[in-house]
């Protein structure tokens, strides 16, 4: 018994040491990925004399909120960056395109998982291949198309583009979630008097909340951070988003690194808040699906 007890203790210690090593590795990886974000935050708060110093100053000797005051202050001039316009455009484009992509992608994913029609596999594969095309390669055709249709330099044009970009991924992800739900649940609901639509809303849709949350996170962050297509389609502050607006800090001979980093920090806040809010829904959806 003593030898067995010793062996068990040794095994537990080994497992504990192994787990601690894994934890240290994870923390190191998180720190490596977090360092650029930390450097952006520090640059937005450091004095201007410390921005381009050599060797670099890792910890600011003095905290300055001047870049944030310049962005959020009321005393804007013609040379000021139209921060509130960019914020409104980015928020409107991200939310509307995410909502449209979720609605269309969810319905399409349900259709591909429940119905079989001629050419369904080809259509599904075609949607996936369309998502693999780089956005910059279609920027010129989109520019010509939008210029002729009157959607150039408009928020609605960006909304349509981002929704079209996110629909294939949303369709693919939701199709997998709906496919894992047994058809017998729909049949039982229809026997109890539900229509096909009621079975979809009351039975299938609640079970796919984790997929909706994951799709929403992906679509929102894609729309929020996209820059290549937006830099071609947008021209004025009436439609420019945050990523395109960062170029306003680039002048002929100098770059306002503090202002650029300050806007980047503000860009992070809505994205982080959206992810945290959706993460709660993701956990709720997983719990609800397990209970059902």
DSSP for 81-126 reads: --HHHHHHHHHHHHHHHHHHHHHHHHHHHHHHHH---TTHHHHHHH
Looking at domain 75-291, which of 3.30.360.10, 1.10.3720.10, 3.80.30.20, 3.40.190.10 is its CATH number?
1.10.3720.10
CA separation, residue 22 to residues 18, 25, 26, 205, 218 (Å): 6, 5, 6, 37, 28
Asked whether 260 and 68 are in contact (CB, 8 A), the reply is: no
Counting residues of the chain whose pLDDT is more than 70, the rounded percentage is: 90
> What's the rounded Cα separation, in Å, for the pair 104 and 85?
28
Judged against a pLDDT cut of 80, whether residue 285 lies above it is answered with no
Best-predicted range by mean pLDDT among 9-23, 41-55, 93-107, 120-134? 93-107
> What's the rounded Cα separation, in Å, for the pair 272 and 267?
9
Q: Average pLDDT of 7-12?
A: 75
Judged against a pLDDT cut of 50, whether residue 288 lies above it is answered with no
Counting residues of the chain whose pLDDT is more than 90, the rounded percentage is: 8
Q: Tell which wins on pLDDT, 286 or 126.
A: 126
- Domain residue ranges of the chain, discontinuous segments joined by +: 2-64, 75-291
Judged against a pLDDT cut of 80, whether residue 7 lies above it is answered with no
Judged against a pLDDT cut of 50, whether residue 291 lies above it is answered with no
144-188, pLDDT tens digit by residue?
A: 888 888 888 888 889 999 998 899 889 888 888 888 888 888 788
pLDDT of residue 8: 75
- Scanning the chain, the segments in alpha helix (DSSP H) are 2-45, 66-72, 83-114, 120-131, 139-149, 155-179, 183-191, 196-199, 205-207, 209-225, 228-233, 242-245, 257-291
177-226, pLDDT tens digit by residue?
A: 888 888 888 788 888 788 888 888 888 888 888 888 888 888 888 898 88
Asked whether 51 and 260 are in contact (CB, 8 A), the reply is: no
Confidence at 237, pLDDT banded by 50, 70, 90: confident
Question: What pairs with residue 255 in β-bridges?
Answer: 250
Residues constituting the chain: 292
Q: Tell which wins on pLDDT, 7 or 142.
A: 142
> What's the rounded Cα separation, in Å, for the pair 38 and 44?
10
pLDDT of residue 292: 45
Judged against a pLDDT cut of 90, whether residue 104 lies above it is answered with yes
Q: Average pLDDT of 249-254?
A: 71
Six token digits for residue 184? 């017998």
Q: Is 119 left (phi over 0), alpha (psi -120 to 50) or beta?
A: left
Asked whether 176 and 106 are in contact (CB, 8 A), the reply is: no
47-89, pLDDT tens digit by residue?
A: 877 777 778 777 777 888 888 888 877 555 556 778 888 889 9
Per-state percent for the chain, helix, strand, coil, to nearest 5:
75, 0, 20
């Amino acid at each position: 018994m003593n030898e067995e007890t010793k062996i068990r203790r040794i095994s537990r210690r080994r497992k504990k040491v192994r787990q601690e090593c894994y934890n240290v590795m994870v923390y190191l990886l998180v720190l490596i990925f977090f360092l650029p974000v930390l450097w952006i935050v520090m640059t937005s708060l450091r004095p201007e004399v410390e921005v381009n110093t050599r060797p670099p100053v890792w910890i600011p000797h003095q905290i300055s909120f001047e870049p944030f005051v310049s962005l959020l202050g009321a005393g804007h001039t013609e040379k000021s960056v139209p921060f509130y316009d960019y914020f409104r455009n980015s928020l409107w484009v991200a939310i509307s395109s995410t909502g449209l992509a979720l609605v269309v992608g969810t319905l399409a994913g349900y259709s591909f998982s429940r119905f079989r029609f001629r050419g369904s596999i080809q259509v599904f594969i075609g949607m996936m291949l369309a998502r693999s095309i780089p956005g910059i390669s279609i920027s010129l055709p989109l520019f010509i198309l939008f210029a002729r249709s009157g959607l150039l330099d408009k928020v609605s044009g960006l909304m349509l583009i981002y929704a079209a970009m996110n629909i294939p991924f949303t369709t693919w992800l939701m199709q997998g979630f709906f496919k894992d739900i047994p058809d017998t649940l729909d049949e039982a609901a229809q026997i109890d008097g539900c229509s096909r639509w009621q079975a979809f809303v009351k039975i299938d849709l609640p079970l796919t909340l984790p997929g909706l949350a994951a799709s929403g996170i992906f679509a929102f962050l894609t729309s929020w951070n996209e820059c290549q297509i937006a830099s071609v389609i947008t021209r004025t502050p009436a439609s420019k988003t945050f990523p395109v607006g960062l170029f306003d800090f680039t002048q002929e001979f100098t770059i306002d690194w503090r202002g650029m980093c300050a806007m980047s920090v503000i860009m992070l806040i809505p994205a982080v808040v959206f992810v945290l809010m959706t993460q709660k829904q993701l956990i709720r959806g997983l719990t609800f699906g397990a209970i059902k």
